[in-house]
């Protein structure tokens, strides 16, 4: 990990080398766990080999708490709290409800629009959530959300690998070759009238 302070604020760059999808979920998980210990707000960016947490205050991650923050303990519960698992499951439930015959797709040649299918499935999902939370179809929707969208199994393996290794925290004085591509990717998602090239030139001047 690299902790760097720039004009933008305080950056924590983490390099698990596990791919963008795992990094996106891990970043949200880490941000949530930190926020439970200390009131703080983050911006998040990631690429295929790492991710960034950016805040306007120092990020409280050091040798004393790194192992706990990257622990696989209570992973499922923490994931449900850190990401919008309910919305992911709701989207998965549409396909499940169609296959189960709960939602009518329309007659041949006159299929219902996707928004109508989603509306009907969402209504059923809410009823099951409120009155039959252990419904097998609802559980299947959550399982698919966790295992296919959030890749919980890969995330768990990554956290266990981190636990069995050595977590190294460094404090560079400026952006490094590792973190620079992640920072550039985060700039692409901000609303600005400046050209990306001009903003990158400014970054190279940060001390």
- Which range is least confidently modeled, 61-65, 85-89, 139-143, 188-192? 188-192
Q: What is the pLDDT of residue 117?
A: 75
Q: DSSP character for 191?
A: -
Structural contact between residues 189 and 22, judged by C-beta atoms closer than 8 angstroms: no
SS3 155: helix
Structural contact between residues 155 and 22, judged by C-beta atoms closer than 8 angstroms: yes
For residue 158 the two structure tokens come to: 């990554």
For residue 14 the two structure tokens come to: 């983490």
Give me the chain's average pLDDT, please. 83
| In the predicted structure, residue 207 carries a pLDDT above the cut 60 | no
| In the predicted structure, residue 188 carries a pLDDT above the cut 60 | no
Give the CA count within 13 Å in the CB-facing half-sphere of 86. 8
Q: What is the pLDDT of residue 151?
A: 73
pTM: 0.67
The angle that helices 114-131 and 85-99 make with each other, rounded to 10 degrees, is 110
- Which range is least confidently modeled, 15-19, 138-142, 147-151, 192-196? 192-196
Strand ranges across the sheet with 43-46: 2-6, 9-14, 51-55, 43-46
Give the CA count within 13 Å in the CB-facing half-sphere of 24. 11
| In the predicted structure, residue 173 carries a pLDDT above the cut 80 | yes
Q: What is the pLDDT of residue 193?
A: 45
Structural contact between residues 59 and 3, judged by C-beta atoms closer than 8 angstroms: yes
Burial readout 115-138 (b: 16 or more C-beta within 10 A, e: otherwise): eebbebbbebbeebbeeeeebebb
Q: What is the pLDDT of residue 11?
A: 95
Q: What is the pLDDT of residue 198?
A: 60
Q: What is the pLDDT of residue 86?
A: 75
Mean pLDDT within 104-127: 78
Q: Which of 8, 55, 5, 12 is nearest to 173 (CA)?
A: 5
Share of the chain above pLDDT 70, in %: 83
Kindly report, residue by residue over 85-111, the tens digit of the pLDDT: 677 788 788 889 988 888 877 777 766
Q: How far apart are CA 178 and CA 50, in angstroms?
A: 9
Q: What is the pLDDT of residue 66?
A: 94
Q: Tell which wins on pLDDT, 118 or 95.
A: 95
């Amino acid at each position: 990990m690299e902790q760097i302070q720039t004009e933008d604020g305080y950056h924590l760059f983490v390099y698990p080398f596990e791919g963008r999808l795992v990094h996106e979920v891990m970043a949200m998980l880490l941000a949530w766990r930190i926020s439970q210990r200390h009131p703080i707000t983050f911006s998040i960016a990631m690429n295929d080999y790492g991710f960034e947490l950016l805040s306007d205050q120092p990020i409280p991650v050091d040798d004393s708490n790194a192992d706990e923050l990257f622990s696989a303990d209570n992973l499922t519960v923490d994931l449900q709290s850190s990401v919008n698992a309910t919305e992911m499951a709701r989207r998965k439930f549409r396909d499940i409800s169609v296959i189960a015959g709960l939602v009518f797709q329309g007659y041949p040649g006159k299929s219902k629009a996707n928004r109508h299918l989603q509306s009907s499935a969402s209504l059923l999902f809410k009823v099951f959530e409120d009155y039959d939370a252990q419904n097998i179809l609802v559980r299947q929707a959550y399982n698919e959300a966790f295992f296919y969208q959030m890749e919980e199994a890969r995330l768990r393996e990554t956290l266990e690998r981190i636990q069995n290794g050595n977590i190294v925290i460094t404090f560079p004085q400026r952006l490094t070759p590792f973190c620079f591509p992640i920072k550039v990717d985060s700039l692409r998602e901000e609303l600005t009238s400046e050209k990306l090239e001009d903003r990158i030139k400014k970054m190279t001047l940060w001390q």
